[in-house]
Structure 1
Amino acid sequence: MSGFFNDGSADAPKLRVYLNLDTLLDLRADSLWSHADRLDPQARDALLARDGFEGVQRTDDGPAQPQTCLPHCGASRIDQPAQADAIVARHVARGDRCLTLHAGTGLEDDAQASRLVEALLTAADKHRFAVFLETHRATITQDLWRTVQLVRRFPELRLNGDFSHYYCGQEMTYGDWPAKLAFMEPIFARTGFLHGRIASPGCMQVPITAELARRPPQAHGQCDFLAHFCALWSHAIRGFVQHAGAGDVLVFAPELLSGAYYYARCWPDTQGRLVEESDRYAQALIYKDLIRALFAQVQQDTARPAA
């Protein structure tokens, strides 16, 4: 099984940490990332590379930016099967390395959902391009059960795992957590892209601290949602490593959205103005280090001989 993003090398499967550029929108005035709106793409990418990011995910449909110095991938959506080929072709022509897609509205019946997946797969195969269907609310992958049925019907399908939509939207902690992880194994086996966002059972996007992220999962205390996301991401990494081939790349892209989209929580400051509770760019830096530690741990565990 492959179908993942492949860099054409003979290297062992690897992790690459990108940044979804929507993370840089509407940041707090005291953000570690300052004056983002004044930077040209080349200057922006140079600063991101300095901070340890290896690529970016563009969320616009604009043309190529020849002055950029980091590889980039794309993001889009399809609502009708007939849209898939043109959208994939546009991202191939732009020079994107791969593409994540929202598909449908979540109101489709099984036949309609299948036609969307078939169109996505046909376009990906025609253009020889890695396309990842995103797990997201209000799309055909909005719940665990339906997504698992889709990948059983279409085992060649590859996914962008944004597990915050399941963790919060389906309140995964309400019930048997180990059973839900086991049910998700067909999803983990097909995840070649991860949108980095941590949710709590009641909020789609919550901050963590660097100190807490460095602790082993069993020491997260009351921050059990962090331990749960370490488990979700580790399962996805393990699924990728087990099914990937030479040159395959798992992309992890923090996608931390502003309060304008009701993701980041906002609180009144001393003047009564609503301010986001955390610096989303600082959070992305924490995520970057966390996912690399998890990937290294999974590699170590899978290389260890069975007892």
Structure 2
Amino acid sequence: MTHFSPDNTTDGGTSPPRLLAGISFLTPAELPDWSVGPRGDRTAIYAALKAAGYEAIQTLEPQAAIEAGLIPTGMMRIFDDIDQMRTQATKWRDAGCDCSTVQLGTGLEDNAEMRRLAEALLTISAELDHPIYLETHRATMTQDIRRTLDLIADLPELRFNGDFGHWYIGHELTYGDMEMKFDAMRPVFERTRFMHLRVSSNAFGQITASDPAEARHLDYYRRIWTASFAGFLRDAKPGDYFAVHPELLPARAFYPKMVRGPDGEWREESDRWTESAFLIDVARQCFAEAEAALCAA
């Protein structure tokens, strides 16, 4: 059976391939009173995102994004129902989303079931002419690096949403030979076409990336992001873009570190609004490094 890779996201123009700054709808959700980020209703928050320079948002409300001048991106959580994946992908395509990312499976699939789901993803993406990127995520069939690499060997046409914090914490990635692990993961980086930006440690799912004390972890993410951008740039065409979406979750998701604030109450360690801007800046630096390396090669 012939398979086709999901397309890169594109604006249909003639400009050189570029990085696009997006954001997850979760990042500005429920910002605490001390955050410098926007508050108000959805319309006010989406307008603030546009004013802050974001171009896209991964959201369950694509029409609201379009009305705010933002590009909407779809998202799916599919366990094993292929018809459900087709229905949801059709919904997001028809709503004007540039692509969709999918958390697929449970992590308990055998190899045959993983292939069935992955083949369905490729088929639906091609039939709908809508890019669908398989997300690296715990509690899904991509939670294990080795099995994901084996899946790529079987279906090299797959393209990914790199939510690499799940592997970093789930595999305690720095426990062992990092150079060997980077080399092993290269087939995933080469096929990554979308990313959720979040920095984790071996113990916390979401750390303050701008904190100099976390520089060791951030440096590893810089390498991952730069390698992923290089993979995109090698086959990108004019008009193509690589969207990065900081996905920083609120306290109720139990991802961020919690510390006591000046009032003695527990609160998130850092401001998700300013951290999101920091992560975008880091991603831009990594993209520029990938471009420079490609030009020098």
Give the TM bin, normalised by the shorter chain: over 0.9
* Cα separation, 1, equivalents of 2:89 and 2:182: 31
Q: Deviations over 1:147-183 (max 9, x none)?
A: 1111121111110001101111101111110111111
Q: How far apart are residue 143 of structure 1 and its match?
A: 1.3
Alignment partner of 2:27: what SS? helix
Q: Deviations over 1:91-118 (max 9, x none)?
A: 0111111111100111111111111111
Q: Contact 1:2–1:243 (CA<8 Å) still a contact in 2?
A: no
| 2:249 equivalent among 248, 257, 274 | 257
- 1:216 is matched with which residue? none
Paired amino acid for 1:79:
F
Paired amino acid for 2:38:
S
**Is residue 2:27 matched to residue 1:23?**
yes
TM-score normalised by the chain length of structure 1 = 0.89
Q: Deviations over 1:265-301 (max 9, x none)?
A: 1123355432111101110010111111111121112
- 2:41 is matched with which residue? 39
Structure 2 counterparts to residues 207-246 of structure 1, below 5 A: 207-209=208-210, 212=212, 223-246=215-238
Q: Deviations over 1:62-89 (max 9, x none)?
A: 4633522111111111112232211110
Alignment partner of 1:168: what SS? helix
Root-mean-square deviation (CA, aligned residues, Å) is: 1.8
* Cα separation, 2, equivalents of 1:245 and 1:303: 15
- 2:261 is matched with which residue? 269
Change (3 A) 1:63 1:168: closer
Q: How far apart are residue 196 of structure 1 and its match?
A: 0.2
Paired amino acid for 1:175:
G
**Is residue 2:102 matched to residue 1:101?**
yes
Q: Deviations over 1:183-218 (max 9, x none)?
A: 1111011100010000112211100227x5xxxxxx
Q: Contact 2:18–2:241 (CA<8 Å) still a contact in 1?
A: yes
Q: Contact 2:62–2:96 (CA<8 Å) still a contact in 1?
A: no
Q: Contact 1:17–1:53 (CA<8 Å) still a contact in 2?
A: yes
Structure 2 counterparts to residues 285-296 of structure 1, below 5 A: 285-296=277-288
Change (3 A) 1:231 1:295: same
Aligned residue pairs, count: 291
* Cα separation, 1, equivalents of 2:259 and 2:214: 22
Q: How far apart are residue 243 of structure 1 and its match?
A: 2.5
Alignment partner of 1:22: what SS? coil
Q: How far apart are residue 2 of structure 1 and its match?
A: 6.6
Q: Contact 1:2–1:245 (CA<8 Å) still a contact in 2?
A: no
Q: Contact 1:31–1:281 (CA<8 Å) still a contact in 2?
A: yes
Give the ranges of 4+ consecutive aligned residues of structure 1 lying more than 4 Å apart after TM superposition. Answer: none
Stretches of structure 2 lacking an aligned partner (at least 5 in a row)? none
Deviates more, 1:22-31 or 1:267-276: 267-276
* Identity between Structure 1 and Structure 2 (%): 34
* Cα separation, 2, equivalents of 1:270 and 1:253: 31
Q: Deviations over 1:21-53 (max 9, x none)?
A: 101122221111132xx2343x43332222221
* Cα separation, 2, equivalents of 1:89 and 1:30: 40
Paired amino acid for 1:177:
M
Change (3 A) 1:170 1:77: same
TM-score normalised by the chain length of structure 2 = 0.92
- 1:218 is matched with which residue? none
Paired amino acid for 1:196:
L
* Cα separation, 1, equivalents of 2:7 and 2:134: 12
* Cα separation, 2, equivalents of 1:93 and 1:186: 31
Stretches of structure 1 lacking an aligned partner (at least 5 in a row)? 213-220
* Cα separation, 2, equivalents of 1:40 and 1:201: 34
Q: How far apart are residue 251 of structure 1 and its match?
A: 0.6
- 1:51 is matched with which residue? 52
